[in-house]
């Protein structure tokens, strides 16, 4: 069989993470079976559908590498076919006109359910059945003459020769009606596979109110598309063994609809971050550098005068501990500006201690006297000072780190100092000495 799947979003806003996962599974299944993956824009809601949203869908799919086959179908252009189908159903008695009165004006077309039980074998859930008495007739054409979702959906899927409908399980109920429609239209119903939903930490459907609900959010936050794809694929499906980091080719090769989970899944952002870090560390320094540059530009930290050599060195130092590209800003801003923030707790703990300022001053003076200011010399020097004070190197290292970076952690201190350069390091220590001089008790911050 020539397998054809489709992703049928309605372009009414940003692309939701749950929707894109549906797209991913459709795409995977088509690619796995050597079939076609189609796209249909269900843009019949004229009030809410926008060209921007359509673009948003294209962008999101491209970003994640979800390539589709054939020309996308715009449902709004299929009106004639929908009406033709309605006429046909009317003509053969499978539908009838009715004036429902009340709020509506004029007649609607109602589809006559056969009154028999309807069942199907869901690829993921197994056998499904619904009693005929629980399947009432339903409207397929509104009184204003426009087709209702059920009609348009089925007619278009028939038109596109969709063989496997993979969609959210909130459509299970619709499926019984759709199957009746297929049959009335003289078409063999396709296979169905209903995916569980993605829920929030309260077990409720994951909605826009939960934050980071859209593909664009992850893109902005500096996630790597392959990592997000990998994470999402595993949210509801597993290859059956312990593999987790999967390349595009691997997931395509391994994907099976029958292995999709039937229970709802919850996003775990920490695991996503971990996975992103795994992918990030596999990228070349140059690639990371470019992505980080975009972040820095977007956040106003990029300066044309930044030397390429310096910049690449910084990326080298930072990328080991980065999880997402925006970390270059969140924990590396001090490499790019003198106006870097100080972590309160770190200042209190490392500079607020008795004697900390004296030690910092001592190191500062020794650093200032250094001819060659590099990783090696600064380390030798600092350790010497520590010996003279009869103290642990840590009592000097920490204050220097906080003074120079404002942070409790970061790259190895001495390589960081070398990258920053003597002049900047001395200046920063001086400023810290001045600024935190009066720091006597922890409350004074």
Exactly one of 77, 97, 204, 297 binds RNA (CB under 7 A); that residue is: 204
Exactly one of 55, 67, 247, 262 binds RNA (CB under 7 A); that residue is: 262
159 binds RNA (CB under 7 A): no
Strands in 108-111's sheet, in edge-to-edge order, are 95-98, 108-111, 138-141
Exactly one of 403, 413, 419, 420 binds RNA (CB under 7 A); that residue is: 413
Q: Are 196 and 262 in contact (CB under 8 A)?
A: yes
Residues that contact RNA, how many (by CB under 7 A): 78
Of these residues, 133, 208, 282, 345, which one is catalytic?
A: 208
Residue nearer to RNA on the CB measure, 132 or 302: 132
Query: Of the listed pieces 133-141, 218-226, 307-315, 429-437, which binds RNA according to CB under 7 A?
Result: 133-141
Measured between alpha carbons, how far is residue 120 from residues 111, 136, 152, 153, 419 in Å? 20, 18, 21, 18, 65
205 binds RNA (CB under 7 A): yes
| Closest distance to RNA from the beta carbon of 305 (Å) | 27
Exactly one of 352, 399, 406, 411 binds RNA (CB under 7 A); that residue is: 411
340 binds RNA (CB under 7 A): no
| Closest distance to RNA from the beta carbon of 209 (Å) | 13
Q: Are 162 and 2 in contact (CB under 8 A)?
A: no
Helix (H) or strand (E) holding 127: strand 126-130
Query: Of the listed pieces 61-69, 229-237, 294-302, 437-445, which binds RNA according to CB under 7 A?
Result: 229-237
| Closest distance to RNA from the beta carbon of 195 (Å) | 10
Exactly one of 32, 112, 150, 353 binds RNA (CB under 7 A); that residue is: 150
Interface of this chain with RNA, residues 284 to 323, rule: CB under 7 A: 320-321
Exactly one of 66, 89, 108, 257 binds RNA (CB under 7 A); that residue is: 108
Query: Of the listed pieces 22-30, 193-201, 355-363, 424-432, which binds RNA according to CB under 7 A?
Result: 193-201
Catalytic-residue membership of 440: no
Residue nearer to RNA on the CB measure, 164 or 398: 398
Dihedral Cα 303, 305, 310, 312, nearest 10 deg: 60
In angstroms, the CA 4 to CA 252 distance is 15
Beta bridge partners of 90: none
Query: Of the listed pieces 180-188, 200-208, 218-226, 308-316, which binds RNA according to CB under 7 A?
Result: 200-208
Exactly one of 4, 5, 7, 10 binds RNA (CB under 7 A); that residue is: 10
Interface of this chain with RNA, residues 359 to 398, rule: CB under 7 A: 379, 392-394, 397-398
Exactly one of 263, 309, 338, 372 binds RNA (CB under 7 A); that residue is: 263
Dihedral Cα 129, 133, 135, 140, nearest 10 deg: 150
Closest CA to 328 of 359, 298, 363: 298
Measured between alpha carbons, how far is residue 276 from residues 8, 38, 279, 331, 401 in Å? 28, 28, 5, 17, 27
In angstroms, the CA 204 to CA 267 distance is 12
414 binds RNA (CB under 7 A): yes
In angstroms, the CA 2 to CA 9 distance is 23
Tokens representing 135 are 């399947």
Q: Are 356 and 401 in contact (CB under 8 A)?
A: no
Q: Could you give the residue numbers annotated as active site?
A: 208
């Amino acid at each position: 069989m020539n397998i054809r799947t489709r992703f049928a979003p309605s372009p009414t806003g940003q692309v939701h993470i749950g929707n894109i996962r549906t797209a991913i599974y459709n795409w995977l299944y088509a690619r796995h079976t050597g079939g076609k993956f189609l796209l249909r824009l269900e843009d019949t809601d004229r009030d809410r559908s926008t060209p921007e949203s359509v673009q948003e869908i294209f962008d999101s799919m491209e970003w994640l590498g979800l390539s589709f086959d054939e020309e996308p179908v715009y449902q709004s252009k299929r009106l004639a076919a929908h009406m033709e189908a309605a006429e046909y159903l009317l003509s053969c008695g499978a539908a009838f006109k009715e004036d429902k009165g009340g709020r509506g004006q004029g007649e609607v077309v109602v589809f006559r359910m056969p009154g028999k039980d309807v069942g199907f074998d869901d690829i993921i859930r197994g056998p499904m059945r619904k009693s005929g008495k629980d399947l009432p007739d339903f409207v397929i054409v509104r009184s204003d003459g426009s087709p209702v979702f059920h009609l348009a959906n089925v007619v278009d899927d028939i038109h596109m020769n969709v063989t496997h409908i993979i969609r959210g399980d909130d459509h299970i109920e619709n499926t019984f009606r759709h199957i009746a429609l297929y049959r009335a239209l003289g078409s063999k119903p396709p296979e169905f596979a209903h995916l569980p939903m993605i829920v929030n930490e309260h077990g409720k459907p994951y909605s826009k109110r939960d934050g980071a609900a859209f593909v664009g959010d992850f893109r902005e936050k500096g996630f790597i598309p392959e990592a997000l794809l990998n994470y999402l694929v595993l949210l509801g499906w597993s290859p059956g063994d312990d593999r987790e980091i999967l390349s595009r080719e691997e997931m395509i090769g391994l994907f099976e609809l029958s292995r999709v989970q039937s229970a709802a899944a919850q996003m775990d952002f920490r695991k996503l971050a971990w996975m992103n870090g795994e992918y990030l560390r596999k990228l070349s320094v140059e690639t990371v550098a470019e992505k980080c540059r975009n972040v820095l530009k977007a956040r106003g930290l990029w300066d044309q005068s930044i030397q390429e050599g310096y910049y690449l060195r910084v990326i080298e130092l930072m990328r080991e501990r980065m999880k997402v590209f925006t970390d270059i800003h969140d924990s590396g801003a001090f490499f790019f500006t003198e106006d870097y923030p100080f972590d309160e707790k770190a200042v209190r703990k490392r500079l607020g201690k008795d004697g900390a300022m004296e030690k910092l001053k001592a190191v500062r003076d020794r650093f200032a006297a250094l001819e060659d200011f590099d990783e090696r010399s600064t380390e030798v020097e600092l350790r010497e000072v520590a010996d003279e004070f009869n103290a642990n190197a840590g009592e000097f290292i920490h204050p220097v780190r906080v003074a120079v970076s404002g942070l409790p952690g970061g790259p190895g201190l001495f390589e960081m100092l070398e990258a920053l350069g003597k002049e900047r390091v001395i200046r920063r220590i001086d400023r810290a000495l001045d600024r935190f001089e009066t720091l006597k008790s922890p409350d004074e911050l």
